[in-house]
Amino acid sequence: MVNQSEVLIDKLKQGDQAGFTAVMDLYQDMVYNTAISIVQNADDADDITQEVFVQVYLSIKSFKGESKLSTWLYRITISKALDHEKKKKRKKRFGLVQSLFGYIDNEQPEQTEFNHQGVQLEKKENAAELFKALKKLPENQRIAFTLQKLEGQSNQEIAEIMNTSLYAVESLMGRAKANLKKLLYNYYHEKYSDQ
């Protein structure tokens, strides 16, 4: 029996517009949520989402089907989001160098306020602290934690997405949780010690 993903992949490979629209409808939220969890900026996440689907359209013929379509999309999204962060850091460093030499930097301050669909309104303040702490984690720990806790992926699925072993994912999750506990200790200690 042929599953829905295989049908969509075939349609995409044939250049079928309806197939491409169906893939976007099916995976757009997943791609956006993953991107915003990493870059933590709504405008950037929108841009990345568009870039992901452009890449899907352009490179679907090279998709061999060795992994699920969603796994492939997660890989592209994570790669685009991390590349975007690196470009932003380079731009920030360049701006700092320019300011040292007297050039005026007209860049707008970075927007840190964003809404993640998985965060309930009453938990928004705590979520903001979590996202700030996530930014401080090493890249692989941050990706593993994001995929498991925000995207609801199993360790096995995360291993496939990150192209690593199940043991490595379990180890990354353990270290991510320990690091987050340290990073968030002061915030929660101050917040709840007054009560």
User: For residue range 91-115, what is the model confidence (pLDDT) as tens digits?
Assistant: 766 555 555 555 544 444 444 455 5
pLDDT band at 174 (very low <50, low <70, confident <90, very high): very high
**Does residue 135 sit in the same domain as residue 183?**
yes
Helix segments in 60-165, DSSP class H: 69-100, 124-135, 139-145, 155-162
Query: Please, what is the Cα angle at 131 between 125 and 99, to 5 degrees?
Result: 105
**Does residue 101 sit in the same domain as residue 126?**
no
Can you give the pLDDT at residue 106?
Answer: 45
Distance between CA atoms of residues 83 and 90, nearest Å: 11
**Does residue 152 sit in the same domain as residue 60?**
no
Instruction: Out of 110, 145, 168, pick the residue that ends a domain.
Output: 110
The total of structural domains in the chain comes to 2
68-97 b/e with 16+ CB inside 10 Å = b?
ebbbbbbbbbbebbbebbeeeeeeeeeeee
For residue 67, pLDDT over 90 is answered with no
User: For residue range 33-66, what is the model confidence (pLDDT) as tens digits?
Assistant: 999 999 989 999 999 999 999 999 899 888 888 8
Higher pLDDT pick, 177 / 66: 177
**Does residue 6 sit in the same domain as residue 95?**
yes
Mean pLDDT of the chain: 82
Q: What is the CATH number of the domain that holds 160?
A: 1.10.10.10
Higher pLDDT pick, 76 / 65: 76
For residue 178, pLDDT over 70 is answered with yes
Distance between CA atoms of residues 76 and 67, nearest Å: 13
**Does residue 104 sit in the same domain as residue 128?**
no
Q: What is the CATH number of the domain that holds 63?
A: 1.10.1740.10
**Does residue 141 sit in the same domain as residue 168?**
yes
Distance between CA atoms of residues 45 and 36, nearest Å: 5
For residue 136, pLDDT over 70 is answered with yes
Instruction: Out of 65, 94, 110, pick the residue that ends a domain.
Output: 110
Least confident of 119-123, 136-140, 190-194: 119-123
Q: For the CA atoms of the chain, what is the radius of gyration?
A: 19
**Does residue 100 sit in the same domain as residue 126?**
no
Q: Which residue type sits at 60? A: I
Question: Which whole number is the average pLDDT over 164-186?
Answer: 94
**Residue linked to tokens 């992901």:** 52
Residue 22 belongs to domain spanning: 1-110
User: For residue range 161-173, what is the model confidence (pLDDT) as tens digits?
Assistant: 999 999 999 999 9
Instruction: Out of 48, 81, 110, pick the residue that ends a domain.
Output: 110
Can you give the pLDDT at residue 111?
Answer: 44
Distance between CA atoms of residues 63 and 102, nearest Å: 49
**Does residue 104 sit in the same domain as residue 131?**
no
**Does residue 78 sit in the same domain as residue 56?**
yes
**Does residue 148 sit in the same domain as residue 80?**
no
**Does residue 100 sit in the same domain as residue 193?**
no
Can you give the pLDDT at residue 116?
Answer: 56
Higher pLDDT pick, 125 / 146: 146
Short-list 110, 100, 29, CA closest to 70: 29
**Does residue 39 sit in the same domain as residue 135?**
no
Contacts 24+ apart (CB under 8 A), 129-135: 129/184, 129/187, 130/180, 130/184, 131/37, 131/40, 133/180, 133/183, 133/184, 134/37, 134/180, 135/40
Percent of the chain residues past pLDDT 70, beyond the cut: 77
Can you give the pLDDT at residue 98?
Answer: 57
Short-list 46, 50, 25, CA closest to 36: 46
